[in-house]
């Protein structure tokens, strides 16, 4: 086998006849080789889609290298060396199939992409997967229709011809021809019978309805004649009322025309209407602008008050205050650093000491001079000390604090207040100036519009002019409306004749029209329904002919029901026979599986029972009852189902290769050796391929 499949990239695997044990570590590609072999024999299901938990094979085994999926198998079939190739075709993985003789290259027409696996192995893919393809992950056998059918035919008839299934199919087809849901002869005839009965019943119902509708139609026609006579009487009365309304409208027209003549004469001496409208518009605009500006002037903020005088900066501008603070800070700093009075005190003390020394030496004159000098120096130092202290206190009192940094903070606060005051003052002056400018413009406009008169007086004058023009316009419109009313009423007024018969009805015109409309609609509906009834009865056919057809259909149904009953009995008999034959199938498979299980377990498990769904129960010699597989260890469960798999494979795929993927991984050493002995025995008649992740199977065979 040569594969570009999943992790395999042009990988090769050569097998020999008999038992092949391929030992390799996990992720070597053993399961991939198994999937590759299955795909090469039966093809790849390209319609399968991946789900959240399972990947479709076309995605799971897409070559890791990105190359197109491809593969080749060289095999011997019925003594012929055959090569099978599958390659990717377009977007279809393994969509291109070839089968040819390896030596000559001649095509093998018996093998196609669809039948390759079934022709070579003798079974469908689902049967092979459940019989001859054994993986540890799905060791238990599960049923499907193909597996059940093949086992049933093989056990019950001795071959796989499917005669029993064909007979059952024939009986089922015959029954379906008689009855299957809504198809088949019986449902069709029953539907025909129901249709005939329905037609006959419908004919009787339609005849009764037709007679009832015709009686109702006669009543409606009589009522319609009465309503038409009443409507004629109402129309005659309405025509007389219309004539009266036309006369009234003509009188109103004459009055409107007279009023229009008077108003037009009064407007001849007035200024044009357009001029009056323009003047009123301009004066109103001026009045609105003037009132708004007056309101705006009243709403202007008052001029700000200057900040309160703050010592020691009152009546000073900011630069002067800054300069004063700098000078005072410099002066205070110098005063606090002054030390000359201490020097004078020192000199006075020194002079006093000198005087004392001179006095001791009896130098009285120098001693007196020194004493006087000492006294003078001390007096001078005390005077200077008091002057410095007085000046410092004056400066601290001036600013209210000895901290010079607070002087600057006070100056900054004063500067901020002045800045805010000046800004507010400028804003107030700017706003007041803007309003004054606009007031000046509006005063000029007032002089242009009104001269020496008040604007309200001029506006009232022009409004009176405009009102007269409006009255004239309204009179003209009223005259036109009156003329239109006369024309409309004259057009609507129609002559009407008196009714030919006496009128006893008292309905209003609207009610009469509604009743007439309803009556006419009802008459049309009845006539339409009568026509429909007649047409439907004609379409349904003659009643006597329908009854004759119904008799014939009932006879045919009775005959078919007897046939259907006979087919049901035959089908039940066949099912009973098949059930009886199927009881032979379980013992035959379970007997062979028991033999294999006994050999694998060294004789421990000597009893085995299999259900129709391939569920297993087993027991040892010491156990009184059989137990389900759930009672056994994982390894024992694998041995149970391996025995069953091998027994099924012997029945269904006696000549096909037997493929096992880690099937013995949970066997202990002794049972593993026993299983290998069984596989070695089977390999004498068929090829056995065992993939394993352990070395012990190969070591056991080599020993």
pLDDT in tens, 651-687: 888 888 999 988 888 888 898 899 899 999 999 999 9
Could you give the CA distance from residue 243 to residue 173 in angstroms, rounded to a whole number?
89
Residue with tokens 């002559």: 495
Could you tell me which residues are beta bridge partners of residue 11? 3
Give the mean pLDDT of 231-237.
80
DSSP 8-state code for residue 508: -
**pLDDT of amino acid 7:** 93
What SS3 class is residue 131?
helix
Q: Which two tokens stand for residue 307?
A: 């900040």
Look at residue 309 and tell me whether its pLDDT is greater than 70: no
Same domain membership, residue 395 and residue 339: yes
Q: Which two tokens stand for residue 141?
A: 């056998």
Quick one: how many helices (H) and strands (E) in the chain? 19, 12
Same domain membership, residue 202 and residue 101: no
| CATH at residue 55 | 3.40.50.300
Same domain membership, residue 608 and residue 548: no
Same domain membership, residue 692 and residue 599: yes
Range of the domain at 145: 137-154+584-703
Minimum mean pLDDT among 133-147, 262-276, 323-337, 364-378: which range? 133-147
Query: By the 8 A CB rule, do 41 and 120 touch?
Result: yes
Nearest partner of 458 among 305, 281, 626, judged by Cα:
281
Give the mean pLDDT of 66-90.
94
**pLDDT of amino acid 420:** 81
* Residue 212, phi then psi, degrees to nearest 5: -65, -40
Same domain membership, residue 148 and residue 46: no
**pLDDT of amino acid 159:** 38
Same domain membership, residue 332 and residue 266: no
391 vs 276: which has the higher pLDDT: 276
Q: Which long-range contacts (CB under 8 A, 24 or more apart) does 261-266 make?
A: 263/468, 263/471, 263/472, 263/475, 264/472, 266/468, 266/472
**pLDDT of amino acid 585:** 54
Nearest partner of 648 among 578, 596, 581, judged by Cα:
596
Same domain membership, residue 103 and residue 142: no
The verdict on residue 126 lying in a domain is no
> What's the mean per-residue pLDDT of the chain?
80
Query: By the 8 A CB rule, do 71 and 40 touch?
Result: yes
Same domain membership, residue 265 and residue 356: no
Dihedral angle sign, alpha carbons of residues 664, 669, 671, 675: positive
Query: By the 8 A CB rule, do 392 and 336 touch?
Result: yes
Same domain membership, residue 193 and residue 264: yes
Question: What one-character-per-residue DSSP string does 585-644 give?
Answer: HHHHHHHHHHHHHHHHTTTSEEEEEE-TT--EEEEESS-SS-EEGGGS-HHHHHHHHHHH
Minimum mean pLDDT among 37-41, 267-271, 393-397, 615-619: which range? 615-619
Nearest partner of 273 among 463, 457, 459, 448, judged by Cα:
463
Could you give the CA distance from residue 356 to residue 370 in angstroms, rounded to a whole number?
9
The verdict on residue 56 lying in a domain is yes
The number of angstroms, rounded, from the C-alpha of 349 to the middle of its chain's C-alpha atoms is 105
Same domain membership, residue 689 and residue 612: yes
DSSP 8-state code for residue 92: E
Nearest partner of 553 among 69, 191, 102, judged by Cα:
191
Give the mean pLDDT of 311-327.
72
Percent of the chain with pLDDT over 70: 83
Q: What is the 3-state secondary structure (H, E, C) of 199-252?
A: HHHHHHHHHHHHHHHHHHHHHHHHHHHHHHHHHHHHHHHHHHHHHHHHHHHHHH
The number of angstroms, rounded, from the C-alpha of 245 to the middle of its chain's C-alpha atoms is 69
Cis bond before residue 172 (omega within 30° of 0): no
Same domain membership, residue 407 and residue 463: no
Minimum mean pLDDT among 3-7, 326-330, 496-500, 582-586: which range? 582-586
Condensed to tens digits (0 to 9), the pLDDT of residues 529-553 reads: 888 888 888 888 888 888 888 889 8
Percent of the chain with pLDDT over 90: 17
The verdict on residue 442 lying in a domain is no
**pLDDT of amino acid 10:** 94
Q: Which pLDDT band, with edges at 50, 70 and 90, does 160 fall under?
A: very low
> Exposed/middle/buried for 35, CB within 10 Å: 0-12, 13-18, 19+?
buried
The number of angstroms, rounded, from the C-alpha of 263 to the middle of its chain's C-alpha atoms is 74
**pLDDT of amino acid 161:** 42
Please count the structural domains in the chain. Answer: 4
The verdict on residue 464 lying in a domain is yes
Same domain membership, residue 408 and residue 345: yes
**pLDDT of amino acid 631:** 62
What SS3 class is residue 53?
coil
Residues contacting residue 566 through CB under 8 Å, at least 6 positions apart: none
The verdict on residue 434 lying in a domain is no
Rg of the chain, C-alpha, whole Å: 64
The verdict on residue 299 lying in a domain is no
556 vs 403: which has the higher pLDDT: 556
Nearest partner of 596 among 606, 610, 584, judged by Cα:
606
Residues contacting residue 321 through CB under 8 Å, at least 6 positions apart: 313, 411, 414, 415
**Inter-axis angle of helices 364-399 and 340-360, to 10 degrees?**
160
Q: Which pLDDT band, with edges at 50, 70 and 90, does 157 fall under?
A: very low
Could you give the CA distance from residue 62 to residue 561 in angstroms, rounded to a whole number?
58
Look at residue 85 and tell me whether its pLDDT is greater than 90: yes
Condensed to tens digits (0 to 9), the pLDDT of residues 245-286 reads: 888 888 888 888 888 888 888 888 888 888 888 888 888 888
Highest mean pLDDT: which range of 9-13, 477-481, 537-541? 9-13
Q: What value, to the nearest 5°, has the Cα angle with vertex 589 and ends 583 and 592? A: 140
Give the mean pLDDT of 422-427.
77
The verdict on residue 702 lying in a domain is yes
* Residue 550, phi then psi, degrees to nearest 5: -65, -40
**pLDDT of amino acid 329:** 74
Give the mean pLDDT of 360-377.
71
Could you give the CA distance from residue 7 to residue 5 in angstroms, rounded to a whole number?
6
Residues in the chain, overall count: 703
Give the mean pLDDT of 122-144.
72
């Amino acid at each position: 086998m040569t594969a570009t499949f999943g992790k395999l990239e042009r990988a090769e695997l050569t097998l020999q006849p008999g038992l092949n044990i391929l030992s390799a570590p996990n992720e070597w590609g053993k399961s991939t080789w198994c999937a590759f072999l299955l795909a090469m024999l039966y093809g790849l299901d390209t319609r399968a889609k991946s789900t959240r938990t399972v990947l479709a094979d076309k995605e799971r085994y897409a070559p890791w290298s990105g190359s197109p999926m491809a593969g080749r198998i060289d095999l011997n079939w019925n003594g012929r060396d055959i090569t099978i190739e599958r390659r990717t075709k377009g977007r279809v993985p393994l969509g291109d199939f070839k089968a040819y003789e390896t030596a000559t290259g001649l095509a093998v027409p018996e093998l196609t992409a669809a039948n390759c696996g079934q022709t070579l192995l003798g079974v469908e893919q689902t049967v092979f997967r459940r019989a001859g393809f054994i993986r540890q992950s799905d060791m238990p056998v599960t049923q499907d229709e193909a597996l059940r059918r093949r086992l049933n035919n093989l056990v019950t008839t001795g071959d796989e011809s499917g005669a029993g299934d064909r007979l059952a199919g024939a009986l089922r087809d015959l029954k379906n021809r008689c009855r299957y849901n809504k198809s088949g002869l019986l449902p069709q005839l029953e539907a025909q019978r129901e249709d005939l009965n329905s037609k006959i019943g419908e004919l009787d119902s339609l005849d009764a309805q037709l007679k009832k509708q015709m009686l109702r139609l006669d009543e409606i026609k009589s009522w319609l004649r009465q309503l038409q006579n009443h409507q004629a009487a109402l129309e005659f009365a309405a025509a007389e009322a219309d004539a009266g309304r036309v006369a009234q409208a003509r009188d109103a027209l004459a009055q409107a025309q007279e009023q229009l003549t008077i108003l037009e004469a009064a407007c001849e001496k007035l200024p044009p209407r357009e001029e009056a409208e323009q003047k009123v518009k301009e004066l109103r605009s001026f009045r609105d602008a003037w009132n708004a500006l007056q309101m705006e002037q009243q709403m202007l903020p008052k001029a700000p008050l200057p900040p309160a005088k703050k010592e020691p900066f009152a009546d000073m501008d900011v630069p002067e205050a800054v300069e004063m603070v700098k000078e005072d800070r410099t002066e205070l700093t110098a005063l606090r650093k002054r030390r000359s009075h201490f020097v004078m005190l020192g000199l006075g003390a020194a002079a006093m000491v000198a005087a004392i020394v001179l006095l001791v030496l009896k130098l009285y004159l120098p001693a007196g001079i020194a004493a006087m000098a000492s006294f003078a120096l001390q007096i001078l130092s005390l005077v200077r000390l008091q002057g410095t202290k007085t000046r410092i206190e004056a400066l601290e009192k001036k600013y209210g604090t000895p901290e010079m940094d607070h002087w600057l903070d006070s100056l900054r606060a004063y500067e901020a207040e002045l800045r805010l005051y000046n800004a507010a003052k400028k804003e107030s002056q700017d706003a007041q100036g803007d309003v004054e400018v606009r007031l000046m413009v509006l005063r000029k406009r007032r002089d242009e519009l009104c001269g020496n008169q008040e604007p309200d007086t001029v506006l009232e004058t022009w409004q009176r002019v405009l009102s007269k023009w409006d009255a004239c316009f309204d009179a003209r419109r009223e005259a036109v409306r009156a003329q239109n009313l006369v024309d409309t009423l004259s057009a609507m007024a129609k002559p009407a004749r008196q009714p030919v018969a006496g009128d006893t009805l008292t309905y209003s015109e609207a009610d009469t029209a509604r009743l007439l409309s309803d009556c006419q609609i009802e008459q049309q509906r009845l006539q339409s329904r009568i026509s429909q009834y007649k047409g439907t009865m004609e379409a349904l056919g003659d009643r006597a002919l329908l009854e004759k057809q119904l008799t014939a259909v009932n006879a045919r149904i009775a005959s078919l029901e007897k046939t259907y009953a006979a087919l049901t009995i035959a089908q039940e008999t066949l099912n009973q026979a098949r059930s009886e034959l199927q009881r032979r199938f379980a013992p035959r498979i379970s007997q062979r599986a028991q033999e294999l299980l006994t050999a694998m377990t060294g004789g421990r498990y000597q009893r085995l029972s299999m259900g129709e769904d391939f569920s297993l129960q087993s027991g040892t010699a010491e156990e009184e009852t059989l137990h389900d597989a759930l009672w056994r260890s994982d390894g024992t469960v694998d041995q149970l189902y391996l025995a069953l798999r091998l027994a099924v494979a012997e029945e269904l795929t006696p000549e096909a290769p037997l493929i096992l993927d880690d099937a013995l991984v949970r066997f202990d050493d002794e049972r593993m050796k026993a299983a290998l002995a069984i596989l070695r025995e089977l390999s004498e008649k068929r090829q056995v391929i065992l993939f394993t992740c352990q070395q012990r199977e190969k070591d056991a065979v080599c020993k």
